[in-house]
Structure formats: C-alpha cells, structure tokens
A and B are shown apart, each in its own frame.
Chain A
Amino acid sequence: MNETPRLVQVRQRVLKQNDVAARALRDRFHDRGTYVVSLVSSPGSGKTAFLESTLGALRSRYRAAALVGDLATDNDAKRLARSGVPVKQIITGTVCHLEARMVEDAFEEWRDEPLDFLFVENVGNLVCPATFDLGEALRLILFSVTEGEDKPRKYPTIFHTSDVAVITKIDLAAAVEFDAGAAHRDIQAVRPGMEMLSVSSKTGQGMDDWIASLIARREAAFAL
C-alpha cells in the first residue's frame, strides 16, 4: 500500500479555544462595565502587596474584586481579603499559568455582582502566562528592584504581551543599587513605547499616579 497522503491547508490558532473563551470574557466584562486588570510577575516581586494597596485605594469609591491564581496555597487570597473586597482563589495545582476558562469558572459565582474593577493575579511565573489571553483589558508586568534590571532582556515575551511595566519596591532602589536608567532602556528595547511606572507599596510612592491612570483608563474604556 503506497498511498500518498493529501495535504490540506489550514489556518488555525493553536490556542483557538483559549482565544474564543478570552474574547467571550472580554465582551462580557465590557458589557457589564467591569474593567479587568491582570498582573504577571515572578514569585516575590510584590504583586500581592501592590494589589493590596490598589484595592485599598479603590474600595471607598469603586466596587472591586480579585481572583488570585496560585499553585497550592490560599495565602495570597487571605492577605487580599483583609482589604475588604471579595477575593477568590484559583488553585491551579501543577499548572504554571492561568487560562481563560479558569477565569470564567472562578468568576461564575460573581456573575450577578456589579463590579467596576476585577483584578486577576496570575501564578508567579514570567514564562508561561505570556501565551494565554485571559480576556483582560490591561495586563501589568511587575518586577522589583531587588530582582535586577535585566528582567526585560531575560523574559522578553512576557513584556511583549503586557501593556504596562511596573517596577516595584522602589523604596529599596538605593540599597540594592538599582540602575533605573538601564531598566528603562531595556524595557524600551524589548517593547518600544511601553508605558512604565515605578512604585512602592510600602511608602506609597507612585501609587497615586497609578490609581489616577487606572481610573482614567476605565473611564476611557467605557466612555464615562
């Protein structure tokens, strides 16, 4: 038997299912007036502290909630729950990233809650989350001054899929001799034109500007 196989041309995104789920989520959140922000970073970059400060600043004027992805523990969710907003854990088991379906499932319980902001904290990982759209309106990539300036060059793909680079723990910059100029240059080399912020969740430095820009983005997204 020597039959030649036929070749069929296809053009399908490998992650079609995730893309379809993400698009449906994005439409749904948009219709409800919920502005969705996801956060990616390596473990220990201060993602949870940044989110705590952000939730604290928003809660008096806005309805906010957070979904937190973690491999096994609910420590981060417990910490965030102290800020007084609804928080839900997504335990991913051995999965190193969140996918749109996980966000959809976790959000189900809140389907009728009116929310102005939803934050989605991804699993601490700078590689795997890059490939998966979660239906968010804005993706932040955070890295701390203690991790060094060269994060953008080491993990360019995560910078490519993010909208804003947030340098955290800026209050420690002098102590660790963080070269802000080099960090900014590297971010711009990897992703020309990328918006950059420097913040300290501890001292509050840069947080007012971040909150103001976040509120402005939501207003622009929903033409308020």
Chain B
Amino acid sequence: MHELSIALSMLDVVAEEAERQGGGRVVAIHMKLGPLSGVVKQALISAYELAREGTGMETAELLVEDVPIVAFCGLCGGLKPIASMVELVCPDCGEPTPEIINGRELEVVGLEISES
C-alpha cells in the first residue's frame, strides 16, 4: 500500500505550489497518472482521502486523468498508442517498442484555488 506514501508526498507538493501561487484554499487537484507509474488510481484516491485529514486540504477534490501508454516505433518512425502494458509492441507493424514516451506520469498538473 505505497499509495499512502504517495498521497502524503502529493499533499506536500500541493501545499508548496499553492503557497507559491499566493495562497488560498485548494478546492481541486488535477493530476495525470500513467499505467506504468506503478500506482493504482482507486487506491491513490482512497489513500488521499485518508492523508488529507487535518492538513487543511479536506475540501480539495482529487481529479485523476488516466494517461495512455505511447511509445516510439523505430520501424514505422512514429508515436504509437500501446494497448497493453505487458506487450510493448507497435500496433501497426508488431516491432517491439522499448522507447516509452507517455505512460509513466505521476504528476500534479493543475490546482483550483479559491480565495475564500
């Protein structure tokens, strides 16, 4: 259950960023999550709901956007969507695609801040 460590770390990042943006009450946290991050969305949301207690972030909703895996196919010479994380091959030509472009994300990408 490493999601709790991750949720706590996220709260630190959010608090720091909100402070840098001039303070206010965080009402929503937008994040991007890739399947290769090793983090399970539902577990992260549950952990977050526990972790935010007593931090002043109780009313901040966590909104998670799933990012699909995209890899570079050297044979076709382009970016390709990868359907399965256990079969990293180009969907068009079948060539193995070790070069991952997207899918590892575990990032905070936006905050909604209310002045009140």
Residues of A at under 8 Å CB distance from B?
1, 3, 5-18, 95-97, 99, 127-128, 130-132, 152-153, 156-158, 160-161, 186, 188-193
Contact = CB atoms under 8 A, between A and B. Distances in A.
B10 interface: yes
Contact of B88 (A96, A131, A191): A191
A11 B109 contact: yes
Contacts of B106: 13-15, 131
A14 B96 contact: no
Classify the interface of chain B: helix, strand, loop or mixed: mixed
B38 A157 contact: yes
6 contacts: A9-B109, A13-B13, A97-B5, A131-B106, A156-B85, A192-B97
Contacts of B6: 14-15, 131
A5 B98 contact: no
B46 interface: no
Interface in B58-116: 85-89, 96-98, 100, 104, 106-116
Given A10-B111, A17-B9, A158 B38 contact: yes
Contact of A12 (B17, B24, B87, B116): B17
Contact of B109 (A10, A132, A158): A10
Interface in B8-39: 9-10, 12-13, 17, 21, 24, 27-28, 31, 35-39
Contacts of A3: 114-116
Contacts of A132: 2
Nearest to B1: A96
Interface of B: 1-2, 5-6, 9-10, 12-13, 17, 21, 24, 27-28, 31, 35-39, 85-89, 96-98, 100, 104, 106-116
Nearest to A4: B114
A27 B85 CA distance: 31
Contacts of A127: 2, 38
Please name the 8 residue pairs, one residue from A and one from B, whose CB atoms are nearest each other, closest first: A192-B96, A128-B2, A130-B38, A157-B38, A192-B98, A5-B112, A131-B38, A5-B114
A160 B39 CA distance: 13
A73 to B, nearest CB: 20
Contact of B108 (A7, A10, A18, A156): A10
B113 A95 contact: no
Contacts of B28: 5
A17 B100 CA distance: 24
Contacts of A14: 6, 9-10, 13, 31, 106-108
B17 A131 contact: no
Nearest to B36: A160
A5 B2 contact: no
A195 to B, nearest CB: 12
Contacts of A189: 86-89, 96
Given A13-B13, A188-B96, 4 more contacts: A5-B27, A10-B110, A14-B107, A127-B2
